[in-house]
Structure 1
């Protein structure tokens, strides 16, 4: 069996390529639209990818094509459209192939789906009964490569222990979630906490929520420092929060001002530091962040990531901040996301502990420590997330 992918600007073009190479006995396995590569591809019309197969051992049309391929000139060599046997009857061939799509595509997709799951389990046998569990992980937007590993590990536990597969799967998921580590402020010394992350993920609002919790609810002495002077709006936003909460705010225009700013807050229990969003591969910003960390001697660093971030986006962020000595994951905008798979994806990619998650814009209400059991229930669709209820 020969299987090959064909790409065209539309279905007709892809089908022509199939008919020219495989003949009329080709079977369509799958069709989908794909984005063109590169940044410019985001603004161009999607291409059509068709996966086709033919059994070259029994297909008469495939054998005929292979026997006579060298005898046929291509269109560049002057073959007219009326001489080309596939151009002339292209509509008929296309109709035949489209009929095949409608009759077998669904079946083949299911078979391919099962094979793909098996390929990701390190050789372990995956029974059809496990496929709904895998699909549930995918629907939660857990990346398929990670979902396959989760299923594979659950299968291994299921094979050696007398447990229901659902329990095995939950056990693996809890291990992937890990033990969240919220902020702990000791009684005998000041804690310095820095917020780092891409532009637009909600660092400043998240910092304000933490400041409100610890100043109002926990009755701690809180100080604020912002090094995000690239955006006037960011400084103004934090200044407004500081005035409302009656918390002192220091503004840094250079990392070298960090020591002086910290001295202004030497009587505080906790100091929260806001930073500018870093662009990918911006070496200057990277050096500035490293200098801020070094000069502040930060006790804890939160890498802030939006729950709307795609898997490729998560990988880019993780790579972008790979220079960080250590950090915890802080997730925002779960109320704007349809699922919570990004949390699992980033946790898997980094191995770093989870901390907090924000569920809306309200300060200080819409923030909570990540609850593994609650997160597990959302993945398993046992309960509807509160933020989805509110949004609906």
Structure 2
């Protein structure tokens, strides 16, 4: 009876195992703060990549009529700005205003002059950032008086404008594209080189470890700024190549951290078991040592990205980093700090973008550290 019952039920299926990565992803999803920060970073990255193409203003366009304009959800120009912009245009036309009225989105202005008014002066209205679609409504027979009209151009500056009249929103999004790409590019370069170098030195040990770490000490003795200046001489103003090389220098701290972890891991029982089974040293290094180093590596990576961003702003201040018309969050914050008393939005919005991104990176780093720690599995 028992054997028959077992036969009818069929063989018992064993539950499938979970890999390190699937288990880490499950633990990561359970961390709400880390997942919310990860979603924020994805949205921030998409906004910085796509945003400069969607906003109505180019990050290099200068609006002379809107220098240091405060942020607003409503369209510019405001009611008190129309008259001042109109007077500036008439001053350049060298005519005397006789009065103006506004009907809907158009303004009508009477002008007079001591000599015949050239209708080509309408180009001053067309070139204005406030008006467009200028035309002559009426003209005196002697040409000394004229009634002109122009439509008011609606402009939106959600985050205001900077000291030269450029839209801060488009420049902040473009700056995020540069800062994030620089941070990730240099950070990934430093992580890859540092992990492989430090894990190899710590796992092999002995004379090989001594030689490899003395090389690190020699590289530590090189003045960093002098090295960066040499990179600029060799690579020019191409910041991608320059920060790839900068990332190749920042791996020194990573190599020391990984080397210390690898020295403790090589004495673990599962490493000895792998050696007893005949696994090659390269296989042990890639399949056992490196995966168990991911926790400290991820934490250092989340600290390295903001470090590179701050380093970039320092180099840009010295004239060795990002140059105009390109920009970055560090450059915008540096410029905003100089105008905090009179135009605080120039500092607040770029700093908000940078600080929120750094907080998100820290939360994601904590979540990945907990998810990838083999001791908590």
Instruction: Output the TM-score relative to the length of structure 2.
Output: 0.22
- Structure having the higher helix fraction is 2
Higher relative contact order (CA 8 A, sep 6+): 2
Instruction: Output the TM-score relative to the length of structure 1.
Output: 0.21
